[in-house]
Amino acid sequence: MNIAEQKDLFDIPEDICYLNTASLSPSFKAVEKAGIEAVLQKSRPYLIPSSDFFDPVIELKKRFAQLIEVDNYERIASIPSVSYGIATVAKNIKLKSGDTVVLMQEQFPSNYYSWKKLTDKYQAQLKIVEAPKTKSNRAKLWNEAILEAIDDSTAVVAMGHIHWSSGALFDLKAIRAKTRKHDALMIIDGSQSVGALPFSVKELQPDALICAGYKWLFGPYGCGYAYYGPYFDHGEPLEENWTNRLDSHILPDLTQYQSQYKPLANRYVMGESGSFIYVKMQLEALEQVILWTPKAVQEYCKEISAKAVNDLRDLGCDIENDDYRSHHLFGLKLPEKVDIKTFKKALKKHNVFTSFRGDYIRLSCHLFNTERDFEKFVNCLKSVMN
């Protein structure tokens, strides 16, 4: 596949510079078509077989399992959001007074509030590992600080593969080794990495991986995925819906109430997980993501952004070291002399879409972007610095 020609799969006008997949991905044409066909299908529900509420969901789990290198698709649950998946994890963890839960500074709220509630409940402690203030080797030093923070008091380490604003890359392999040494759980939020950055459950063996589905996995807003490892095999779900009980696919027997859940992660699926509109869109999206491969996406994004990164640094922007950040998503801090309001107006005028997150302007790209998109962003910045 010629990875440079993927813009044809999308319906993005030529005058639009969209560098904001980290916020919300555009649907590609095949996903849009699948969604429309499913909506039309709902107009004639008598043509929808009951198997459509089960078989496509199984196929969806298989595809996500393939993407993250999981042998058993029954360890995958379809969920509506990251907060749902993290809350499920937190519900099935008991702490002792004095235990710590390690988080990163300015972690995304969906991977913070459940841990705050859990530690408050058990009189345990949140240990927030702050990003170093230094401009050089910040992510490298941050990784070292994370490893230092994990000790015998650590019960859980909950974090992303990368930082959602700066793109700082975390050494999950080293962190996982340290959590094993101290018998701590490792919970990963893959929302800003899975699909665009290689991730292997087989290699890292996290206890859980939670992902939003509407960013780098190109699904509709309101879908997500979760992998639950052996620690959670016998836990309690957030909700008691009919589909997470044993033999729920036998519709005539639904009132023969079951005391047993389905095995493994199936107990954690959300109600109405068989939403055929969403599932059809998700299936189409994951098929393409698997075909692209996260490795190829990462390499392409690195290639088209390299010149702009150098130009931005020359203009005085602070960007993490290339070896310690992702290339599909990275943040930059502007020189102090740049007026943010003026710069935002320049971006809007030239149809350049990015995110402002904390101290960072976050740029996120994919296969519909080109080097010209980054050049356009750089030119907007130059125009307000003259």
- Does the residue 39 lie in any domain? no
Distance CA 360, CA 84 (A): 27
Domain that holds residue 335: 3-21+293-385
CATH number at residue 320: 3.90.1150.10
Instruction: State the burial class of residue 315 (Cβ atoms within 10 Å of its Cβ: 0-12, 13-18, 19+).
Output: middle
Q: Region 4-32: what's the mean pLDDT? A: 91
What is the rounded CA–CA span in Å between residue 134 and residue 131?
A: 9
Write out pLDDT tens, residues 215-247.
999 999 999 999 999 999 999 999 998 788 777
How many angstroms separate the CA atoms of 118 and 250, rounded? 37
**Looking at the predicted structure, is the pLDDT value of residue 386 above 90?**
no
Are 254 and 299 in the same domain? no
Q: Classify residue 89: in a domain, yes or no.
A: yes
The pLDDT, as a whole number, for residue 222 is 94
Number of domains in the chain: 2
Looking at the structure, tell me whether residues 196 and 237 fall in a common domain: yes
The domain boundary, picked from 264, 292, 320, lies at 292
User: Does residue 220 sit in the same domain as residue 144?
Assistant: yes
292 Cβ contact partners less than 8 Å away, ≥ 6 residues apart: 1, 3, 6, 367
Query: How does pLDDT run across 58-73, given as a tens digit for each residue?
Result: 999 999 999 999 999 9
Given 276, 292, 308, which residue is the final one in a domain?
Answer: 292
B/e letters for 36-46, b = 16+ CB within 10 Å, e = fewer, are: eebeeeeeeee
The residue assigned the tokens 């907060």 is: 83
| DSSP-based three-state secondary structure for 191 | coil
Q: State in Å, rounded, how far the first CA of the chain is from the last one.
A: 42
Minimum mean pLDDT among 203-212, 268-277, 309-318: which range? 268-277
Same structural domain, 267 and 339: no
Whether the per-residue pLDDT at 1 is higher than 60: the answer is no
Return d(Cα 189, Cα 375) in angstroms, integer: 31
With 0-12 / 13-18 / 19 or more C-beta atoms within 10 angstroms meaning exposed / middle / buried, residue 344 is middle
> Is 220 within a domain?
yes
Mean pLDDT value of segment 250-268: 83
Residue 62 lies in a domain: yes
Domain identity same for 348 and 336: yes
Last residue of a domain, one of 229, 259, 292: 292
pTM, entire model: 0.94
Mean per-residue pLDDT for 151-170? Answer: 96
Phi, psi torsion values for 109, nearest 5 degrees: -55, -35
Cα 369 from Cα 308, distance rounded (Å): 13
Reported as a single tens digit per residue, the pLDDT across 43-61 is 999 988 888 888 999 999 9
Mean pLDDT along residues 319-339: 93
Same domain flag for 82 and 192: yes
Say yes or no: 63 and 12 in one domain: no
Domain annotation covers residue 121: yes
Q: Are residues 317 and 256 in the same domain?
A: no
Amino acid at 200: S
Residue 282 sits in the same domain as residue 373: no
| Token digits of residue 364 | 């996120």
- Pairing verdict, β 352-353 and 17-18: parallel
Report yes or no on 29 lying in a domain: no
* Gap between the Cα atoms of 36 and 19, Å rounded: 26
30 part of a folded domain: no
Summary mean pLDDT of the chain: 93
- If you average pLDDT over residues 276-290, what whole number do you get? 95
Residues 54 and 113 in one domain: yes
Give pLDDT, residue 357: 82
Strand boundaries in 76-180, DSSP class E = 76-79, 100-104, 125-129, 154-160
| pLDDT over 60 (residue 3) | yes
Is the torsion defined by CA of 80, 83, 86, 89 positive or negative?
A: negative
- 171 and 317 in a single domain? The answer is no
- One-letter amino acid at 79 equals I
